[in-house]
Amino acid sequence: MSRRDHDIRRYPGARLLTAVFFLWLYLPIAVVIGFSFNQNRLVSVWTGFSTEWYAAALANKALMDALEVSLTIAVIATIGATTIALMAAMVLSRAPAKGIYRLSEAVVNLPLMLPEIVVAVAVLILFSQLGIADGMVKLALAHTAFCTPFAFLPIRARLQGMSRDFEEAAQDLYAPPLTAFRRVTLPLIAPGVFAGAMLAFVMSMDDFITSNMLNSGGSTTLPVYIFSLIKRGTTPELNAISTLMILASLVIATAALVLAARAMRREA
């Protein structure tokens, strides 16, 4: 007769529910990937394997233009947001959490506290008032703003978890402040900076609401373009585009995870 421990941590059904949850989580992604190889023009009727829709997607000039806009904006927003977030995090992790510093922390995180559609409307009205017509400038500014808290949070968390002793040790060993920052603080918070930059990049690439609101000639981002395709009807080409985007996200997310894990192992 086998004896089993009375495992008080187990709740009947929870594991099954979790398994179903994960299936449900990945079902849509699997469906999109699967149908992207469908020969048939109709999305939901499978007739045979084909990669022609990938060829069509890659030959789509408008799609490539949108991708270029998205990448350009994402790179600018990532650099801008990460720099601003890093500066703010360096100050705020050392300052007392009161007065102007406490307020500043809230200001940096402001985009997280407002509904995005409100932010989108606000910048639209602002740019119309300022008479800024250049779509790229508008997008770059707006994206930098809403990406900043995403870059800020991991950097702040990393600085919070870092003992100040390292910085003091560097200064004690004759490193002037800038050297101490470059050679000790920055390498130690690098995983946080990297995670923040990744998040900012993904958030910028992903954004629909603001980009759609600011959409004007020549500044159509990838999600906005995909939205216009969806409005015209589902096609296998759309599935191929989506699959490529899923793969890109997968690569970025995995890279972020691997780097974070490596950083953690080094310190263990």
18-77: contacts with other proteins (CB under 8 A): 18, 21-22, 24-29, 31-32, 35, 42-45
Closest contact distance (angstroms) between CB of 63 and other proteins is: 13
Closest to other proteins by CB, 48 vs 115, is 115
CA-based nearest residue to 53, from 249, 251, 63, 206: 63
> Quick one: which of 252, 254, 260, 268 has its CA closest to 189?
260
Q: Select the residue interacting with other proteins from 23, 218, 261, 262 (CB under 8 A).
A: 261
Q: Is residue 212 within a helix (H) or strand (E), and if so which, with residue range?
A: helix 209-214
- Of 1, 49, 131, 163, the residue at the interface with other proteins (CB under 8 A) is 163
**Nearest approach, Cβ of 133 to other proteins (angstroms)?**
14
Sign of the dihedral through C-alpha 58, 242, 115, 76: negative
Cβ distance to other proteins smaller for residue 1 or 25: 25
CA distances from 67 to 84, 88, 102, 135, 165 (A): 25, 31, 38, 15, 45
- Taking CB under 8 A as the rule, does residue 220 contact other proteins? no
C-alpha–C-alpha distance, residues 116 and 108, integer Å = 15
Using the contact rule CB under 8 A, the part of the chain among 46-54, 59-67, 153-161, 207-215 near other proteins is: 207-215
* Tokens linked to 4: 């089993």
In Å, the largest CA–CA distance within the chain is 82
Minimum distance, C-beta of residue 1 to other proteins, in the bound complex (Å): 24
Q: How far is the CB of 65 from other proteins (least distance, A)?
A: 17
Alpha-carbon gap, residue 120 to 126, rounded angstroms: 10
Considering the complex, what minimum distance in angstroms separates the CB of residue 2 from other proteins? 21
- List the x/- string, 93-132, binding to other proteins by CB under 8 A: -xx----xx--x--xx-xx-xxxxxxx-xxxxxx-xx---
